[in-house]
Chains A and B, each alone.
Chain A
Amino acid sequence: MSFLSKPKREILKRRIKSFWMDFSHNRIGFVGLIIILGFVVVGIIAPLLTPFQPTSQLFKAPQLAAAYSMPDWFRIFPQYSDLNPTLSIKLDLKKAEVANYTGPISIDMDRLNFSFAATEDAKQTASVTLDLGNFSYEYSAPPTFTMHVNYRMYYNRTGVKVYFTVKNYTANPLWDDVLLDPTNAEMLIYVYKPASGPVANVTLTNSTSKLNIDSFVNFPRQPVMSSLYKPELLLGENGSAPIDPARILFSQKGVYGIKLKIEFDNIRSGPPDRTYLGAFGDLNLQTVGLTIWGRVHGIMGTDAGRNDAWTELVYGVRISLMVGVLAAIIATSLGILYGVTSGYLGGFADEFLMRVVDVLLCIPVLPILLILTRYFFANVYLVVVLIAIFGWQGLSRVIRSRVLTLKEMSFIESARASGASDSYLMVRHLIPNVLPVAMAAMVLAVPGAIITEAALSFLGFGDPNAPTWGRMLYGAYQLGGLPAWWVWLPPGLAITVICIGFVFIGHAIDEIVNPRLRRRR
């Protein structure tokens, strides 16, 4: 603080103190300040408020439930009490029972190893059935489920098929496998056919890469691994919308059992004289899991990307505050510089600079921002800069007219008479004197910047890697999330409240620093 002499520092201190006295007595301003402080606190402690992280450049947020699932606490309402949360059913393979096995297979349940080796020069098959135990499901039918299988397999001229059977024990105590014909499937799940009701033959497809087991005929350099399987949609009856098999599979409450059947067969390939002998498959199961995706999740449910909406909301505070404040600061600085320069220079330069402002004020800002973000920079920081570049013109006019009146005042005249340079006058006298007005304008510019950024994101032109509130609203508008009001209403309200906070503060500052308004009581 050496650039200010001691008495000047005292004056500054006193000025700030008296400003604070005025401000803290302004009810609206105080409310605004509390709102903004609340948001700042939320932004700072965001990691404490949620265990998750939003999607960013470095991180892809985890999927936590079905898209647009409801908040967990909705279950206190009777009509939603049946909705299932996300259930991850961990199946303990070590405790699996080998139900029966046939063919040339050796089983090592300690290491969960299943080894198939052809014993004769003929087409041979081997199979083993594992009983993976029970779990209970006490909700209405879930939106969807996935199967998670981690395995390693070394093989030569051998195919493997893994079948899942999920069956409702409560409805049908007897386990009579009605195996449907598995064709062209990598992983199949068989659903027990209840005494009455629909049958679902669920085909699970690998979400990442389709594995075609028949091609695993050559000895691979690396073991094959696979992870996530999703059910394929069933075509509805009479051409109605496709149904997720989960709706049928888990349509009844009760105890469900899971069985796993592994089938090996050897293949003869290459020249016709090749034998079936020597073919082997060595399957090592690591984990098997069933995830029934929830229709309720967390505090605010999930968005279109099945990520935690609450996390996005909480982290959105950071982006919104950053965008608003940064854009306002940059725009205000530009406005002060331009306005002071124009007003100070006066004459032809002033006239010219002001006509430039007139021209810039007539440029359609939002359409140009859309072009720029669409083709050049969809990065939130650059969006901030762009908003600032288009946001200083109005302020520069106000500042200029203040400078024009200041210039005529005696203290400037006397400073100039005592030989002060232009830059000294600007930095030491003009800028400090326009600062209070600029402060009010700056605070009032924040909501505009926040809303502009939100509008860009809302239209789908924002930074895809920034967790912004606008992006959450985009989901509601573009991705069919409108019925899921619990996902888009909070961010919309958050934008509204944060903007109103700034409007209140700006209104209060304006009232304090602007004598014309102060007169109005």
Chain B
Amino acid sequence: MFAGYVGKKIVIALVTLLVVVTLNFMIFRVFVGGDPSQMILDPRMPPEVRDQLLAMWGIDKPLFPDQYSLYLYNLFTWQYGLQFDQSATPIAPEMVWRLRNTVILLGLATIGTISVGIPLGMFAGAKRGKKTDVTVIGIGLLTFGVPMFFLQLIWVAIFCLWLQILPRAGLVGLGGPQDPLSVALDVAAHAISPICTLIVGGFGGWALYTRNMMVDALTEDFVLTARAKGLRERDVITKHAFKSILPPVVTLIALSIPGIVTGAIITESIFAWPGIGQWYISALQQQNHPVTQAVLYNFAVLMLGANLVADLAYGFLDPRIKVGVRR
């Protein structure tokens, strides 16, 4: 039963990946421009150099099957091909570096958001109708209304521009000492703003969701049973009520992953954090198609991977899981 469930999830993930990959190819090679080289290359370039570049990019051959198969080969070997710039820089090394930056940023922010939001929601649900609860509902509803980028602008204006206590942009400052410790501290200082804003802007939604689930769960009979058994109220809330809502909370994590991953685009642009989101925007602006394609592919892989993990975790946490049935 569980194996079937897992198999199904994997098949869906693979189909989605194929759709994204094909869309990715079609958009850039078929719809956007027949000869993408024209916008990048210097017209005064000697024709033999030009031909050589075109051959390196693989865009001198027909679209199907040569270009498509090369493209697929590149993606599945995590090579991505070469950038559309004068020197045809390979994408892969920069991608590794940027992917690492993005994963660090989003990973820390997501962990922070969850570990603030969910316990808060749990607490609020247990204190239903009290001040904490009302505050959590308020913050939660507010979260749905405040655009993250607006919050981030306010943050930058206050902490980086007005008070000037945090660096505004980038991964590291210029001209600092180069020993590993100083660099690490510098990176941490630069990461504070994006991570904090993501947490501040994100925890309310999680708290509200958890709170609503908790309020529901706390009216269940098994919670009353747990209390009657003489469990401490804390254990009633964590070990019984919260444990029962853990599966849907994990689903929430799965559902929020697309937003988190693509939210990186905006966050990284604002804070000039050299991750894949920021690269995506600059590649779009410079019509650097191979980079756009590569980043989009990575977005899809990240999303699908995280989704899959969440689905598996759900199946693992909820013994009732059957194929296609959720609670």
Question: Is the Cβ of B12 less than 8 Å from the Cβ of A362?
Answer: yes
* A459 CB-CB contact with B under 8 Å: yes
* B157 CB-CB contact with A under 8 Å: yes
Max count, chain B CB within 10 A of own CB: residue among A366, A444, A447: A366
Interface string of A273-287 (1 = CB under 8 A from B): 000000000000000
* B252 CB-CB contact with A under 8 Å: no
Q: Contacts A359-B12, A375-B31: A496 and B147 contacting too (C-beta < 8 A)?
A: yes
Question: Is the Cβ of A367 less than 8 Å from the Cβ of B296?
Answer: yes
* A375 interface neighbour in B19, B32, B161, Cβ under 8 Å: B32
Question: Is the Cβ of A367 less than 8 Å from the Cβ of B265?
Answer: yes
CB distance from A358 to the nearest CB of B (A): 5
* B141 CB-CB contact with A under 8 Å: yes
Q: Looking at chain A, what size class is its interface with the partner chain?
A: 35 or more
* A455 interface neighbour in B23, B32, B149, B215, Cβ under 8 Å: B149
Q: Contacts A370-B280, A455-B266: A482 and B12 contacting too (C-beta < 8 A)?
A: no
Count of chain B residues with a beta carbon within 8 Å of a chain A beta carbon: 45
Query: Which of B102-110, B191-199, B236-244, B299-307 sits within the interface?
Result: B299-307
Residues from 459 to 498 in A contacting B, C-beta threshold 8 Å? 459-461, 473, 476-477, 482-483, 485, 488-489, 492, 495-498
* B319 CB-CB contact with A under 8 Å: no
Contacts of B261 in A (CB 8 A): 364
Contacts of A204 in B (CB 8 A): none
* B184 CB-CB contact with A under 8 Å: no
Question: Is the Cβ of B15 less than 8 Å from the Cβ of A447?
Answer: no
* A458 CB-CB contact with B under 8 Å: yes
CB distance from A325 to the nearest CB of B (A): 16
CB distance from B125 to the nearest CB of A (A): 11
Residues from 273 to 327 in B contacting A, C-beta threshold 8 Å? 280-281, 284-285, 292, 295-296, 299-300, 303-304, 307
* B41 CB-CB contact with A under 8 Å: no
* A202 CB-CB contact with B under 8 Å: no
* B188 CB-CB contact with A under 8 Å: no
**B215's closest neighbor in chain A, by CB?**
A520
* A363 CB-CB contact with B under 8 Å: yes
Once bound together, how far apart are the Cα atoms of A482 and B150, in whole Å?
A: 11
CB distance from A370 to the nearest CB of B (A): 6
Once bound together, how far apart are the Cα atoms of A314 and B303, in whole Å?
A: 38
CB distance from B55 to the nearest CB of A (A): 25
Contacts of A454 in B (CB 8 A): 147, 149
Question: Is the Cβ of A455 less than 8 Å from the Cβ of B27?
Answer: no
Question: Is the Cβ of A492 less than 8 Å from the Cβ of B147?
Answer: yes
Question: Is the Cβ of A497 less than 8 Å from the Cβ of B12?
Answer: no
Q: Contacts A362-B303, A374-B284, A482-B157: A499 and B20 contacting too (C-beta < 8 A)?
A: no
Question: Is the Cβ of B32 less than 8 Å from the Cβ of A488?
Answer: no
* B144 interface neighbour in A460, A499, A520, Cβ under 8 Å: A499
* B262 CB-CB contact with A under 8 Å: yes
Once bound together, how far apart are the Cα atoms of A489 and B141, in whole Å?
A: 20
Known: A370-B280, A520-B216. 4 other contacts (CB 8 A): A447-B144, A482-B153, A496-B146, A499-B145
Q: Which residues of B contact A (CB under 8 A)?
A: 12-13, 15-16, 19-20, 23, 27, 31-32, 141-142, 144-147, 149-150, 153-154, 156-157, 161, 215-216, 258, 261-263, 265-266, 269-270, 280-281, 284-285, 292, 295-296, 299-300, 303-304, 307
Report the 10 A-B pairs with minimum CB-CB distance, sorted nearest first. Answer: A499-B145, A500-B145, A492-B150, A366-B262, A362-B16, A364-B299, A359-B16, A503-B144, A451-B147, A496-B146
28 CB-based A-B contacts, threshold 8 Å: A359-B12, A362-B13, A362-B307, A363-B16, A363-B20, A364-B258, A364-B261, A364-B300, A364-B303, A365-B258, A366-B263, A367-B295, A370-B281, A370-B284, A371-B27, A376-B31, A444-B144, A454-B147, A455-B149, A458-B147, A459-B265, A459-B269, A473-B149, A473-B153, A482-B156, A492-B150, A498-B145, A499-B145
